[in-house]
Amino acid sequence: MKKMKITVFALIGLMTKSMVCKANENMVFAENLPTDAKVFVQKNFPRLSVAFVEKKAAGQGSVYEVSLNDGTEVVFSPNGAWGMVDCKLEAVPASLMPAPLSSFVKSQFAGAKVVRLERTNSGYVAALSNGISLKFDHEGQIA
């Protein structure tokens, strides 16, 4: 019985170690982000810092998933172009939104703010603080 317990604990230890090693393989130091990604964070989130970065496989390549110290998440392509910004409960920086998109949200959804913005092949998907999700074309017109 004692040998069985030792064997079980040893197996659990090995499994945990392998999972931790796998997670560490995807971790990236903030200074190793593409230059455009670092500039993006400094420009749009000047009061925040990078908490951690994870490089993940996605489609044909990989993406950088960046978590800032307030919980904001930003996804970057390998060249540093942003693809998604999720500010949770805070508003996405206005500098990221086309003016027509921002104007539409202000006029049609007074009091709501864009808390998540994703760039897609066809334009943008904006998630509002009131739970509504909207699609816009590349010029920021409602699609």
Alpha-carbon Rg for the chain in angstroms: 20
Residues 50/81/93/120 CA torsion (nearest 10 deg): -130
pLDDT digits (tens, 9 = 90+) for 53-76: 999 987 778 899 999 999 999 999
Cα separation, 98 vs 137, whole angstroms: 10
Q: What is the pLDDT of residue 24?
A: 60
What pLDDT digit, counting tens, does each position of 2-46 carry?
555 555 555 555 454 444 434 466 888 989 999 999 999 999 999
